[in-house]
């Protein structure tokens, strides 16, 4: 008799993170995990350094300082905020607390892979709602709701497509859900979006009992290495997750750096401006090479390759990796012939486009 994990766990496809290695002697441009090329606010670095001076003590288990900073910046009540070891932890806690074997949770066709993993880890059944033109489809999601549905996960904007639903569509989705189903709005890229019809979800959470919004410090805030995320939700849901989380789920450096980072609004505005400029430049430059790009409102683009032998996404990946440009294969997301590129520094973006230009001209083998 051997130890056997509970049902569902061994069905999980292991999450494969973006690669981070280049051939020796070549400058690495890691454009595979949607990290910011600008790094964190210098104030966040300073705060993390200061925290390191006191490593013998446990951190504040309530992360009060961070919750207060978030509440002040967004005009929220701290009782509606829960901080996590990255937003991934919060997504996992939602599954642990609200899903049991036999339950269903819905995610979209090209949705973030962490949802499926966490749903399966809770012993529940992931249900996939098809997308339309690589964009979530409210009617398709609603059509998948059954009496077993407990959670609906929606990344808005979505990773890896970069597409989004306008807020009136989110409202329509919420209006169509039974009141016992929690709508999880994952707004990891909200700070990057420059569209008048977009909303991350704060207004909806504030006025409903069954909507939560998750946010992260891993993207525009440049703190992916420290693992900081937060959730805004109804008190009943926040309190539920609070019972199950680790008592010290955020470390001291994460709390300190997150607090300083979210207060540095000028830094974030500049990071958003930088991204808007290079998102547009890179999209146009890649399209000018004859490749199609899914229109993105995030800090990354999905580049589609032709079926021509020698010109596939796998060929491009090998070609670019050999030149130090690490992009993300997205086969696991249903795009076997595309690569996701994070918007990088000016040098990285220009270099990538140059290398891609060489690649598309290279003779097909
Ligand atoms: C990057 C990303 C996150 C962030 O996860 P963390 O655990 O906070 O680093 C969440 N959702 C989506 C869709 C993402 O792409």
What pLDDT, on the 0 to 100 scale, is given for residue 318?
A: 96
What pLDDT, on the 0 to 100 scale, is given for residue 24?
A: 79
How many whole angstroms separate alpha carbon 124 and alpha carbon 219?
29
Ligand 1 centroid to Cα of residue 216, in Å, is: 6
Tokens of 12: 């999980």
225-265 per-position pLDDT tens digit:
999 999 999 999 999 999 999 999 999 999 999 999 999 99
CA atoms within 13 A on the CB side of 222: 20
Asked whether the beta carbons of 282 and 343 are under 8 A apart, the reply is yes
Ligand 1 centroid to Cα of residue 287, in Å, is: 27
Ligand 1 centroid to Cα of residue 290, in Å, is: 30
Tokens of 353: 């486009």
Instruction: Compute CA 282 distance to the chain's CA centroid, rounded to the nearest angstrom.
Output: 20
Residue from 108, 114, 302 whose mutation best tests the ligand 1 pocket (most atoms within 8 A of CB): 114
Ligand 1 atom nearest the C-alpha of 186 is: 11
Tokens of 29: 């441009």
CA atoms within 13 A on the CB side of 5: 10
What pLDDT, on the 0 to 100 scale, is given for residue 365?
A: 45
Residue 278 in contact with ligand 1 by CB distance below 6 A: no
One CATH from 3.40.630.30, 3.90.1150.10, 2.40.440.10, 3.40.50.300 for 9-39+266-361: 3.90.1150.10
How many whole angstroms separate alpha carbon 149 and alpha carbon 228?
29
How many whole angstroms separate alpha carbon 144 and alpha carbon 152?
10
Asked whether the beta carbons of 267 and 74 are under 8 A apart, the reply is no
Residue 283 in contact with ligand 1 by CB distance below 6 A: no
Fold match between domain 9-39+266-361 and domain 42-264: no
Helix (H) or strand (E) holding 270: helix 265-288
Residue 187 in contact with ligand 1 by CB distance below 6 A: no
One CATH from 3.30.390.30, 3.20.20.70, 3.90.1300.10, 3.40.640.10 for 42-264: 3.40.640.10
Residue 221 in contact with ligand 1 by CB distance below 6 A: no
- The full set of domain ranges for the chain reads 9-39+266-361, 42-264
- Terminal Cα-to-Cα distance of the chain (whole angstroms): 52
Blockwise average pLDDT, block size 10, the chain, 365 residues: 89 79 84 97 98 97 98 98 98 98 98 96 97 98 98 98 98 98 98 98 97 98 98 98 97 98 98 98 98 98 96 97 96 97 98 98 71
Ligand 1 atom nearest the C-alpha of 89 is: 7
What contacts 361, CB < 8 A, 6 or more positions away?
A: none
Asked whether the beta carbons of 45 and 33 are under 8 A apart, the reply is no
Residue from 188, 298, 333 whose mutation best tests the ligand 1 pocket (most atoms within 8 A of CB): 188
């Amino acid at each position: 008799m051997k130890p056997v994990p509970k049902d569902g766990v061994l069905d999980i496809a292991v999450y494969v993170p973006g690669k981070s290695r280049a051939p020796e002697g070549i400058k690495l441009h890691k454009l595979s995990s949607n990290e910011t090329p600008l790094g964190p606010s210098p104030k966040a670095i300073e705060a993390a350094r200061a925290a390191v001076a006191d490593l013998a003590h446990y951190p504040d288990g309530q992360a009060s300082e961070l919750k207060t900073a978030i509440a002040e910046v967004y005009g929220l009540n701290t009782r509606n905020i829960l901080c996590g070891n990255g937003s991934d932890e919060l997504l996992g806690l939602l599954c642990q607390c609200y899903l049991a074997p036999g339950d269903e949770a819905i995610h979209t066709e090209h949705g973030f892979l962490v949802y499926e993993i966490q749903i399966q880890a809770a012993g529940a059944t992931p249900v996939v709602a098809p997308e339309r033109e690589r964009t979530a489809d409210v009617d398709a999601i609603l059509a998948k709701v059954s009496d077993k549905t407990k959670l609906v996960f929606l990344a808005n904007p979505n990773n890896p497509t970069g597409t989004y639903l306008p807020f009136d569509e989110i409202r329509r989705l919420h209006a169509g859900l039974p009141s016992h189903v929690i709508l999880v709005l994952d707004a990891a890229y909200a700070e990057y979006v420059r569209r008048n019809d977009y909303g991350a979800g704060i207004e909806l959470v504030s006025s409903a009992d069954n909507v939560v919004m998750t946010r992260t410090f891993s993207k525009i805030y440049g703190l992916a290495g420290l693992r900081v995320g937060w959730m805004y939700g109804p008190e009943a849901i926040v309190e539920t997750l609070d019972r199950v989380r680790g008592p010290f789920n955020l470390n001291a450096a994460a709390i300190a750096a997150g607090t300083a980072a979210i207060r540095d609004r000028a830094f974030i505005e500049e990071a958003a401006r930088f991204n808007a400029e290079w998102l547009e430049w890179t999209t146009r430059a890649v399209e000018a090479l004859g490749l199609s790009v899914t229109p993105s409102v995030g800090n990354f683009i999905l580049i589609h390759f032709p079926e021509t032998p020698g010109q596939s996404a796998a060929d491009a990946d090998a070609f670019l990796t050999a030149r130090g440009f690490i992009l993300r294969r997205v086969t696991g997301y249903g795009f076997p012939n595309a690569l996701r590129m994070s918007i990088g520094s000016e040098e990285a973006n220009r270099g990538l486009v140059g290398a891609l230009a060489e690649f598309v001209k290279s003779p097909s083998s």
